[in-house]
């Protein structure tokens, strides 16, 4: 009997597909606790099964494409054509986007009619390595920020490759910011936010506002921000305590992309890398990064630089996520958690929310014990399966939201153990 078993299944080892490796696809190995260069960073050591699945899928399907696909204007235009299909994705029924020109730049404004009221305005710059991404691809994250903050969120359609270099994107960002300053009733409550390349523009707006003598943003929200045009270089004074294993872009592709970002004859106003502009940034700053992504070392280094100047900084490092994961709030509970933290930080910065925890615990929440309307945190040993868009969750006791929570805070409607996703 044992011989027949080995004959039938023993060939798997010859393919390099051992049982232990198969097990790790569902039950990741226990790792040592996370460490941080910036000691005040909040380290999110736990992660959901769904986050692990997303990370593995990105590594399996997206990374090979980004590693080998030619980086040409034709390829970039093809990717952006695919991005436009995001306009057909489900939208919040509580938000009606309004498009107009701000400082000569096309923008889309949205306010969530069931969110908390606020005088805040959030100017949002989408990510995409200055080559992809759009208002359409990032509409859902803007809708969620509008709901969580009550702010008017304005998403900016800045120029990208191949029509313009990074220097042109920076000028578009500043034109939109100056236009907002001119029309906003509460210029002291303007928050600037962005993910990845949009985080680069967020930091450039803060730098150039100081250089030009403009009103500085009330706060900055950056999700995996690009803080330099050469994050892959190892010869900078940036401490690295974790090997880079970015789920998206291989570091070896950066030199080719950098030549397109900043071609000969193009001049970026101020510093080419926001990492060098810490002396010009005084706005309170919220940042997220992933434990092993390429951009993490400079996120922590920037946190140290600003904290040493007594600038308010709140930095969160997450395990087993993908680059700029807050954009995936329709999929990942960690993304929704990160957006809630960012929204609270912004509301505190503009004086519309007070911290409900002692100063020494500000920004820290034990996520493994957190259970709210739109987030469930489970131990990895619990089983989770997906059936026709529904999530069946282990032996968790049913949770019943109040009527108010179901309308204002609920991303999920609960019936027994079934969680049905619905756009707010």
What's the CA gap between 173 and 246, in Å, rounded? 27
Of the pLDDT bands very low, low, confident and very high (cuts 50, 70, 90), residue 3 is low
- Where are the alpha helices (H) located in 212-311, listed in sequence order? 254-261, 296-307
The residue ranges of every structural domain in the chain are 33-369, 371-424
pLDDT above 70 for 107: yes
3-state secondary structure of 266: coil
Helix (H) or strand (E) holding 175: helix 166-183
pLDDT above 90 for 394: no
What's the CA gap between 106 and 100, in Å, rounded? 6
Of the pLDDT bands very low, low, confident and very high (cuts 50, 70, 90), residue 31 is low
Indicate if the alpha-carbon torsion angle 200, 205, 206, 211 is positive or negative. positive
pLDDT in tens, 271-303: 999 999 999 999 999 999 999 999 999 999 999
Task: State residue 222's pLDDT score.
Answer: 98
Q: What is the pTM of this model?
A: 0.79
What's the CA gap between 126 and 267, in Å, rounded? 22
pLDDT above 50 for 392: no
What's the CA gap between 143 and 41, in Å, rounded? 27
Write the class of the CATH domain 33-369.
alpha beta
DSSP 15: T
Q: Where are the beta strands (DSSP E) in 196-355?
A: 219-223, 285-290, 313-318
pLDDT in tens, 131-170: 999 999 999 999 999 999 999 999 999 999 999 999 999 9
């Amino acid at each position: 009997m044992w011989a027949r078993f080995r004959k039938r299944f023993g060939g798997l080892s010859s393919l390099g597909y051992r049982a232990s490796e198969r097990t790790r696809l569902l039950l990741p190995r226990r790792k040592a606790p996370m460490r941080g260069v910036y000691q005040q960073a909040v380290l999110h050591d736990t992660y959901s099964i769904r986050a692990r699945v997303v990370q593995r899928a990105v590594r399996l399907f997206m990374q090979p494409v980004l590693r080998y696909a030619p980086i040409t204007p034709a390829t970039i235009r093809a990717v952006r054509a695919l991005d436009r299909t995001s306009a057909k994705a489900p939208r919040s029924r509580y938000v009606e986007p309004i498009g107009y020109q701000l400082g000569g730049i096309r923008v889309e404004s949205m306010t969530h009619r069931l969110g908390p009221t606020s005088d805040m305005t959030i100017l949002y710059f989408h990510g995409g390595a200055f080559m992809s991404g759009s208002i359409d691809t990032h509409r859902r994250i803007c809708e969620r920020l509008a709901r969580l903050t009550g702010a008017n969120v304005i998403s900016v359609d800045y120029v990208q490759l191949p029509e313009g270099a990074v220097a042109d994107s920076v000028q578009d960002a500043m034109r939109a910011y100056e236009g907002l300053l001119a029309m906003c009733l509460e210029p002291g409550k303007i928050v600037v936010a962005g993910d990845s390349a949009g985080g680069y523009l967020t930091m450039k707006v803060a730098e150039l506002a100081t250089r030009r003598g403009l009103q500085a943003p009330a706060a900055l929200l950056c999700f995996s921000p690009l803080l330099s045009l050469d994050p892959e270089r190892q010869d900078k004074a940036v401490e690295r305590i974790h090997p880079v294993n970015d789920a998206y872009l291989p570091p070896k592709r950066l030199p080719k992309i950098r030549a397109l970002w900043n071609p000969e004859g193009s001049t970026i106003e101020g510093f080419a890398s926001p990492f060098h502009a810490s002396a010009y940034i005084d706005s309170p700053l919220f940042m997220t990064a992933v434990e092993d992504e390429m951009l993490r070392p400079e996120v922590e280094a920037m946190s140290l630089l600003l904290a040493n100047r007594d600038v308010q900084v709140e930095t969160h490092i997450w395990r087993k996520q993908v680059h700029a994961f807050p954009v995936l709030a329709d999929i990942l509970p960690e993304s929704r958690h990160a957006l809630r933290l960012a929204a609270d930080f912004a509301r505190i910065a503009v004086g519309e929310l007070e911290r409900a925890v002692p100063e020494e615990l500000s920004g820290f929440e034990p996520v493994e014990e957190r259970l709210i309307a739109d987030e469930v945190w489970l131990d990895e040993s619990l089983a989770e399966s997906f059936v026709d868009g529904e999530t069946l969750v282990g032996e968790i006791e049913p949770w019943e939201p109040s009527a108010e929570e179901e309308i204002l805070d609920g991303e999920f409607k609960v019936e027994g153990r079934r969680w049905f996703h619905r756009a707010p």
